[in-house]
Structure 1
Amino acid sequence: MRACRGLLLILILAAAGAQASPAVDAAFDEVMTRYRLPGLAVGIVENGQVVYARTAGELVEGEGAKIDSRTLFKIASNSKSMTTATLARLVDAGKLRWDDPVVKHLPQFRMHDAWAGREMQVRDLLIHNSGLRAGAGDLMLWPEPNSFTRADILRGLAYLKPQHSFRSRYDYDNLLYIVAGEVAAAAGGAPYEALVRREVFQPLRMARCQVGEWNRESVGNVAQPHRRDGDRNVPVRSDGAVIAATTMDAAGGIRCSLDDMLTWVRAWLRPEAEDTPWLSRTQREALWAPQMPMPLSRRMREWDHSHFSAYGYGWRLADVDGVFKVAHTGTLMGMYSAVTLLPDKGVGFVILINGEGEEARTVLTQVLVKHYAAPAEKPTVAHYAGLIAQERDTKPAAQRAPDTSSRQGVRPAELTAQLGVYRDPWFGEVSICRQGEAVSFRAHKSPLLTGTVMRVGRRLLVDWRDDSVDAEAWLDFAGADGKGPITLAMAKVDPEADFSYDYEDLAFARERACD
């Protein structure tokens, strides 16, 4: 009888997978073609079983090595849910509490508002309620490589001025996840990277996941990020032989394969299948409980008929066509990921991309969610791509990048008073100095932030030399008339550029003449 029931279950699962495959295959093929991706991996779990897993493309476009289900991708901010799971395991072990003050574990922790620093709890590190601007301080994390350390982040937080009251609203944050990783290390008695391996990778048998320092050649099969250059996908910020531990591991530094991520999804969808629970039911519920309200976007209302949106511990929560959704995305230069769970349907899926895939990720996620939450709509990639194109065409002028094609190089004689070495209290020093007949901008601790100062009408901007740094910055000097100290403020040229280019949080004062 047990054998018959087992066979019946296998047949049911196989039928479900076969039913899903043609529609998913069609979406997979169209996304791959429409967006000319260098590589794509997609997997689906239904009722605890992997019913779909497909990959296409190459580790490096044009070099021939194919992506497969064991290929490692950067999962970026999907690392956050692994950080919160690590913390939850420590809560289960009695080594910390969600409402512990951060200073209990990190006495050196400070915020610009001294009261907020004293009152901030471990839970506050995880739910984007600090009052800081979205992406505040992210220039200490990206672009990589740079020489900022976790100690720099703990010190620098005290200089980042809040934009809103503590706990008053949602604004996405990365730096406090770095702090959360250090809290875990202090409470767990081991470095963050060792804790994630011990508390997540090993018990769940996510054998290929990597964090911290590791050897690319011995691990093998590692997808490289790409950027678009005309009709080509070009590798960008490729790995060396040894991948170093990074400052931002707890916020976005983990790499995993499709197989690993499907194992991760199964652990969340079928906890009752465990003989020895990996995580208590109490902590699972805490991670998926709405902890901070999030804005309900127009897209969510119109596309998904959503009524609520909130952040849990490392997860975004919402309803889609009456179905509960738990999800997160991950974005790094040339790498995009998405993990989406529909717990009430017993369904979860993973998307991994090693190219410029923001829109591809959005439309494919939408098609897969609708496939399960509202199958009567028969969603297509073309439909959602069309809606995004319509949004782009009707975007208000104030949200579009200005025309800077009239730019001209600035001669050193034009900026005699402004030339010099400047310091920001959290970002450190930058040099704005003569280089031949041009003026160069160089960030001392972030070498990719090196560029040439240009003039556009009356304004100055810095044109970054590395094409992968894709958000130029306005330079606004004050005090060059001799009536006060010379200062420098910066702002994104494109108002829609990634918020991690948080130039607006910088406040430079001139310290000395150029070396």
Structure 2
Amino acid sequence: MTSFARRTSIALALALAAASATMPAAAQPRKAAAPAAMPISPTKIDETVARAMKAFEVPGMAVGIVKDGKLIYSKGYGVREQGKSARVDADTLFQIGSNTKAFTAAALSILIDEGKIGWDDKVIDHLPQFRMYDPYVTREFTIRDLLTHRSGLGLGAGDLMVFPESDITRDEIIHGLRYLKPVSSFRSRFDYDNTLYMVAGQIIPAVTGKTWDEFVETRILAPLGMQPCSSTYGRIRDRSNLASPHIVVEGKLTAIPVMNIDAIGPAGTINCSINGMAKWLMTQLDAGKSPSGKQLFSAARGTEMWTVNTPLPVNPRSTEMMRTHFSGYGLGWGLEDVFGYKKVAHTGGVAGTVTWVAMVPELKLGVLVFTNQQSGAAMTSVGNQILDAYLKAPARDWVEIASAQTKTRNDGARAVEDAAAKVLASAGPPSLPLDTYVGTYNDPWRGDATVRREGDGLVLKFSRTKDLEGPLLPYSGNIFIARWKDRSLEADSYVRFEQGYDGKVTGMKMQAVSPATDFSFDFHDLDFTKVEKPAK
């Protein structure tokens, strides 16, 4: 995410932050010996990992370093599932989330090399059913636009069609896009999205007759020898060494079921290990040539994927800490300079798992950090500590830096959440009789939601998913708070009912309560209208 990364972003990930003195951080034997020339010692990596796991309550982590075409360091730490003994190692599979996006860009690059498509082909020429809200945007939208987060849609627009887990299909997601209203003009602003990467993946079956899932496995994973990595969770053949996702739920670290989001596959569903992803980084760093010598995509395509398409403003904090002067997004990759070197990187996340991938091409360096807890601060701490050693950066402690930044962000979010809780605790009855709110509501891109009466209260339930259901707690007037039964979602939302001049309820709008809510809960994009049919 992401990326479907919860409380994370492409740049510096937010954390759920809760310190624990009892987290295991025992290391596993390395698959490859670290050479003496490595500028950071294995002991220093071990210490950084152990401190990050403790500070951010992470049960398991895996780290890899690729240098000069070889995997020189690969190691697992901790356990695959909290409370169980199975250890993480360099072959443990993690959901890599939005690090999948680079694979989708590479798959399209292969088709460009074969002369079957071009970056600036119009999407509707390959997918005639594709529509955006504005007909002009529909006509002008190119394959390149699908990958560069400059569509005019808002951050994470449409993610609620697949997150949390639903039975909405890829075709239905494409149909829903036409109802999503833009928040900026076409190609004028960066807003990270997932749904359009799924559309990009659908170019593949339109051109080849193979699904994105099949194409990625047969044309990328298999040729690179990345087994048992898989394109989607549903296609994992061997689940004997799989990391379980974890979330801190109401103060307690909790293992959660894997969220199946295969419908959004091209945006974020690949599962892979450190050993498998190392081969991917070797290929990236060798201009598309695999470790076995096979040219996966041409050097020209590699250059295109690593070229800024959408410029981003440089955060002054990045300039101060990393000497960054430019920042942007290419095709499946984030791009910036750090200490005079070009950095090519991305993060990824799904519920309970986050991953960090970074390359410094001039140094022929790649760094991988995977965790089975959605604390972005943990992976960022470890990854940046390793990068610093290779970049000869000033000495600093990234666990301390990330802890301080996480505390600041969490304190700000907690203040907002506490203020809302105070209003909720003193709230009186709603403005209208409860039965007035009962009914079926429809949003054009997300579908139906129902409000039903249960005893002395109301319950909101979204269609097409089992997870978005919970009581509506009176907050103020016609405003309620939806408190989802699945507390791992961390996405309680305001629900504001609207009335017509006749006093009848005509619809409802929503907005997340906490600023820390993951952007994939794009409740604010919903515009429900009450419809005349019985609630289910």
Tell me whether the two structures share a fold, i.e. TM-score over 0.5.
yes
CA deviations over 1:73-110 (Å, ceiling 9, x no partner): 00000000011111101111111110100011101100
| Counterpart among 438, 441, 462 of residue 457 in structure 2 | 438
Counterpart of 1:6?
none
- Residue 338 (str. 1) matches residue 356 (str. 2): yes
1:331-370 to 2 correspondences below 5 Å: 331-370=349-388
Q: Specify the code of the residue in structure 2 equivalent to 1:261.
A: M
- Residue 211 (str. 1) matches residue 227 (str. 2): no
The whole-number CA distance in structure 2 between the counterparts of 1:393 and 1:506 is 26
Counterpart of 2:397?
380
Q: Specify the code of the residue in structure 2 equivalent to 1:133.
A: G
Shift of 1:187: 1.5
The whole-number CA distance in structure 1 between the counterparts of 2:144 and 2:237 is 38
Counterpart of 1:14?
35
The whole-number CA distance in structure 2 between the counterparts of 1:46 and 1:400 is 45
Percent pairwise identity: 33
Change in 2 beyond 3 A, CA 1:438/1:394: closer
Asked whether the 8 Å contact 2:133–2:180 carries over to 1, the reply is yes
Counterpart of 2:434?
415
- Residue 123 (str. 1) matches residue 139 (str. 2): no
The whole-number CA distance in structure 1 between the counterparts of 2:154 and 2:403 is 32
Q: Specify the code of the residue in structure 2 equivalent to 1:416.
A: D
> Which stretch shows the higher mean deviation, 387-396 or 275-284?
387-396
Shift of 1:22: 2.9
- Alignment root-mean-square deviation, CA: 2.5
1:75-224 to 2 correspondences below 5 Å: 75-144=96-165, 146-212=166-232, 214=234, 218-224=238-244
- Residue 510 (str. 1) matches residue 530 (str. 2): yes
Shift of 1:406: 5.0
Q: Specify the code of the residue in structure 1 equivalent to 2:322.
A: D
| Counterpart among 303, 308, 312 of residue 294 in structure 1 | 312
Q: Specify the code of the residue in structure 1 equivalent to 2:80.
A: L
1:404 match: secondary structure: helix
CA deviations over 1:422-447 (Å, ceiling 9, x no partner): 00001000001102222000001122
- Residue 42 (str. 1) matches residue 63 (str. 2): yes
Q: Specify the code of the residue in structure 2 equivalent to 1:403.
A: A
Unaligned ranges ≥5, structure 2: 1-31
The whole-number CA distance in structure 1 between the counterparts of 2:390 and 2:39 is 14
Asked whether the 8 Å contact 1:98–1:123 carries over to 2, the reply is yes
2:247 match: secondary structure: strand
Shift of 1:393: 7.6
The whole-number CA distance in structure 2 between the counterparts of 1:212 and 1:359 is 26
2:337 match: secondary structure: strand
Shift of 1:291: 0.7
1:229-244 to 2 correspondences below 5 Å: 229=249, 232-238=252-258
2:321 match: secondary structure: helix
Counterpart of 1:452?
471
The whole-number CA distance in structure 2 between the counterparts of 1:283 and 1:358 is 30
Shift of 1:17: 3.5
Asked whether the 8 Å contact 2:60–2:88 carries over to 1, the reply is yes
Counterpart of 1:256?
272
Change in 2 beyond 3 A, CA 1:394/1:35: closer
Shift of 1:297: 2.1
> Which stretch shows the higher mean deviation, 391-400 or 51-60?
391-400
1:416 match: secondary structure: helix
Shift of 1:204: 1.0
Counterpart of 1:7?
none
Asked whether the 8 Å contact 1:336–1:358 carries over to 2, the reply is yes
Q: Specify the code of the residue in structure 2 equivalent to 1:407.
A: L
2:37 match: secondary structure: helix
Change in 2 beyond 3 A, CA 1:13/1:485: closer
1:509 match: secondary structure: strand
The whole-number CA distance in structure 2 between the counterparts of 1:428 and 1:393 is 33
2:473 match: secondary structure: strand
Counterpart of 1:282?
300
- Residue 269 (str. 1) matches residue 285 (str. 2): yes
> Which stretch shows the higher mean deviation, 228-237 or 306-315?
228-237
- Residue 487 (str. 1) matches residue 507 (str. 2): yes
CA deviations over 1:410-462 (Å, ceiling 9, x no partner): 78973332221000001000001102222000001122000100023443110
Asked whether the 8 Å contact 1:41–1:55 carries over to 2, the reply is yes
Asked whether the 8 Å contact 1:418–1:480 carries over to 2, the reply is no
Asked whether the 8 Å contact 2:234–2:262 carries over to 1, the reply is no
The whole-number CA distance in structure 1 between the counterparts of 2:416 and 2:108 is 39
The whole-number CA distance in structure 2 between the counterparts of 1:245 and 1:292 is 27
Asked whether the 8 Å contact 2:436–2:504 carries over to 1, the reply is no
Counterpart of 1:60?
81
CA deviations over 1:137-157 (Å, ceiling 9, x no partner): 10012012x111111111100
CA deviations over 1:109-148 (Å, ceiling 9, x no partner): 000001101110000000000000100010012012x111
Shift of 1:358: 1.5
Asked whether the 8 Å contact 1:76–1:337 carries over to 2, the reply is yes
Asked whether the 8 Å contact 1:193–1:212 carries over to 2, the reply is yes
Q: Specify the code of the residue in structure 2 equivalent to 1:85.
A: A
Unaligned ranges ≥5, structure 1: 1-10
1:393-408 to 2 correspondences below 5 Å: 395=412, 402-405=419-422, 407=424
2:88 match: secondary structure: coil
Count of residue correspondences: 499
> Which stretch shows the higher mean deviation, 486-495 or 298-307?
298-307
Shift of 1:230: 6.1
TM-score, length basis structure 2 = 0.87
Counterpart of 1:4?
none
Counterpart of 1:5?
none
Q: Specify the code of the residue in structure 2 equivalent to 1:34.
A: A
> Which stretch shows the higher mean deviation, 295-304 or 44-53?
295-304
| Counterpart among 331, 334, 345 of residue 327 in structure 1 | 345
Q: Specify the code of the residue in structure 1 equivalent to 2:361.
A: P
Shift of 1:344: 0.9
Shift of 1:193: 0.3
Shift of 1:264: 1.0
